[in-house]
Structure formats: C-alpha cells, structure tokens
Amino acid sequence: MKSMSLVDSWVQSCSMFNGSSSSSFIGTTPMKCSKPNFKICQRSSISAAIVKEEQQILVQNDQKSGFNFKEYMVEKAHSVNKALDQSISIKNPSTIHESMRYSLLAGGKRVRPILCIAACELVGGQESTAMPAACAVEMIHTMSLIHDDLPCMDNDNFRRGKPTNHKVYGEDVAVLAGDSLLAFAFEYVSSATVGASPAHVMAAIGELAKSIGTEGLVAGQVVDIVSTGGKDIGVQLEFIHIHKTAALLEASVVLGAILGGGSETHVEKLRKFARCIGLLFQVVDDILDVTKSSEELGKTAGKDLVVDKMTYPRLLGLEKSQQFAEELLAEAKQQLEEFESPTTVAPLVALAEYIAYRQN
C-alpha cells in the first residue's frame, strides 16, 4: 500500500493551485490556475467517446467475477424502495407527508442504502438488520437534495427528471419536508433496527450524526457556498467534497459494517474504502456535469460553470480528472483485498466500479 493515501496526497497536489513547485498527483509538471477551458458543446463528442469503453469495462468485470451486478442492484433497490415506501405513510397533516414522500420516492440509484446493506452483509450481517439504517441514510440524502435545490442554495428546478420539491409544494413546505426527513431518519434507525445490539445501534447513530453536522455535510456545504466564485480554492475543493459528498457515503458503509458486527479493523478498512469512493463519486459528478446533457443527467447540466463554481475538471482538466478517478477507484479496491470471501466482497467492488463508470 502506498505510504501516503491518495486522498492525503491530493491535498499536497492542490498546492499547485497556489503556485507551488510540487508536482501533481500523477507525476506531471505543476499545473497553474487558469480560466476553465470547457465548452458546453463538448458534451456530445466527449460523452460518445467514453460511454462505450466504460460500459465494456463493467461488462468485462461482471464476466470475470461471475457476479451479476445489474441483477443485484435491481433486487436491492426493490427492497430499499419497498422499505422506504412503508417507512412514511400519508397522515395528518397530509401536505408535509406528501412532500416528504414526493422526493424520497422519486427514484434514484439508491447507491447509499445499497452500500450500507452490502457492507453489513460483507462482515456477516443480514440485510434486514441494515435496512433501517439504509433507509435513514437515504432520508438524509433526500433532505440534502431538497435543501440543495432551494433558491437560497443552488436554485434548481429539476431533480431526477422531475420538478424539485419547492416547485411543487413551495419553499416553506420544502424546507419543513427536509427537516422532517432528517429528524425521522434518527427516529427510524433507533426504533426499527433489529438484529444488532443496543451498543452497535448507538454507535451507528453517532456515526450518522457526525457525518451530517459541522464535521460532515454541513461543513462542506458552507465552504461550498462561501467559495463559489472565489479564486485559489484548490485545497478547499477537496474539503468541500470530502465533507459534502463523501461523508454521507462513508457513513453509509460504516453504519452497515457496525450494525453487521464487523471488527474494528474491518470497519476502518471499509471506512477508507468509502472515503475513496465518496470522493470518486464527486469527481465523476463534476465530469458528468460538463460531458452530459440535462436530459441525460435528469438535472440541470453545466450549472457549475455558469455560477463559476470550482470543480475537478476546472482545476485539473478533463483528462487528468478522469485519471484521478481511476486512481481513487484503484485505492478503494485495495482496501477490500484483506476480506476473505470473493462472493461477499463482489458487491462493493462492483459498486465502486459503477460509481466510477456511471453515466448519470
């Protein structure tokens, strides 16, 4: 294993943004801060060139491992969707519950809850034990999307191909729907979890709380807000995405490992795995924002460029961002090498590859 993790070395590589003479993470000559050279019209040509290759990689990896990733995702997503539907019913006052369900059940890849379940099963736990935590993670993720889309934040009109929550229910109800999902997430994981000790449930709750507060999602969101349009924020870019995006993905995996009864060593290995794929998720998100259309993404494309937000393609360029994504994927997989069962580790390997090669 490398003496310095890829995520740690990335902090040093970002010093190039401040005129340092150190080289970048892939050993090239130092890069200088410059205006973004991306053009929205590049999306079609870039996308067409890489989609076929990435789909082939996923198919080849499935064939090599004998693991049917598509079937696994469909099965797990169905279980998660069923559990989410049952978790929140329409009751008085109906408007707030309808608003909560509107966004919670709007679709999505369900990557976070599936990561939670896969981690639990990897260390010997059951899907049923992880499911309340998996749902809680998705409730909190949905809350973050509802709030993120508000006019005072990212001001977006579409999410997952549908009008955003505040466009349907108004800003006031949207804020309250997000608040309600956040509160209910903790109620749900504490009251509905079976098959795990009270100590493990308490540890999972603490982990989840930490991931979304001022040491997690909120911290990343705040720095993102105050940094938009600023200059020389290369190092802050990693802070933003480690906290805003990676923290909840990390919590998803760690919650599953804790509730499944994983050892401290296994939990920490999975934590490092999750941190890598969390940052990977955002790097890929940034790439897709400049290579895909709004129709393909199900949300407004190219918006980061319009509001002058710092992204990995803007900082590194498209090609080096893709190389960075590949290195994050490799380091994530490395964390799974000590787990003995190829069968139980296959879902997490496949999920990491899916995050790396997804198209929306």
* Distance from C-alpha of 107 to C-alpha of 145, rounded to nearest angstrom: 13
Place 296 in a pLDDT band, splitting at 50, 70 and 90: low
Place 52 in a pLDDT band, splitting at 50, 70 and 90: very low
Q: Tokens for 15? A: 């010093």
Nearest CA to 313 among 240, 221, 237?
237
- For the packed helices 111-122 and 342-357, what is the interaxial angle rounded to 10 degrees? 160
* Whether the predicted model's global pTM rises above the 0.85 cut: no
Place 14 in a pLDDT band, splitting at 50, 70 and 90: very low
CATH superfamily, domain 53-357, is Farnesyl Diphosphate Synthase (1.10.600.10)
Decide: 297 and 249 in contact? Cβ < 8 Å.
no
Domain boundaries in the chain?
A: 53-357
Judged against a pLDDT cut of 60, whether residue 350 lies above it is answered with yes
Judged by average pLDDT, the poorest of 31-45, 80-94, 110-124, 189-203 is: 31-45
Greater confidence (187 vs 340) lies with: 187
Task: Tell me the residue type at 10.
Answer: W
Percent of the chain with pLDDT over 90: 61
Task: Tell me the residue type at 303.
Answer: K
pLDDT at residue 226 in the model? 83
Place 161 in a pLDDT band, splitting at 50, 70 and 90: confident
* Distance from C-alpha of 108 to C-alpha of 130, rounded to nearest angstrom: 19
Instruction: Assign 158 to helix, strand or coil.
Output: strand
* Distance from C-alpha of 284 to C-alpha of 248, rounded to nearest angstrom: 16
pLDDT at residue 75 in the model? 96
Q: Tokens for 106? A: 């709007």
Judged by average pLDDT, the poorest of 82-96, 169-183, 223-237, 280-294 is: 223-237
* Distance from C-alpha of 207 to C-alpha of 211, rounded to nearest angstrom: 6
Place 229 in a pLDDT band, splitting at 50, 70 and 90: low
